[in-house]
Amino acid sequence: MISATVRYARIRTDWQSYSDEDMANKSRARFSAHDAFIDACNISSRQMAKAGEDNSWRTERGNDRQNIEDFACYVHCILGIEFK
């Protein structure tokens, strides 16, 4: 999940500086990275549930793509702050 988070958050951050042409050329890659991040979240959540761990974070995100995008950036931010 971590690698999918970092990959997607990086794309989303870079997106702010892209021209319209760049956005058009890279939109499929962004969509794919977002789907991969969602899949990674779902897999992690299922594994946590099987292990009896709290996975309420996934339910709280729901299925709203924007909410999930924000979550990726939040996790990416925390990873950067906690870097040792």
As a whole number of angstroms, the distance between CA 28 and CA 33 comes to 9
pLDDT at res. 83:
66
pLDDT band at residue 82 using 50, 70 and 90 as cut-offs: confident
Which structure tokens are listed for 47? 């594994």
* pTM for this model (two decimals): 0.85
**33-51 pLDDT tens trace:** 999 999 999 999 999 999 9
> Is 9 exposed, middle or buried (CB count within 10 Å of its CB: 0-12, 13-18, 19+)?
buried
Provide the domain count of the chain: 1
Share of the chain above pLDDT 90, in %: 79
Decide if pLDDT at 84 tops 90.
Answer: no
Residue 39 sits in which domain range? 2-82
> Is 30 exposed, middle or buried (CB count within 10 Å of its CB: 0-12, 13-18, 19+)?
middle
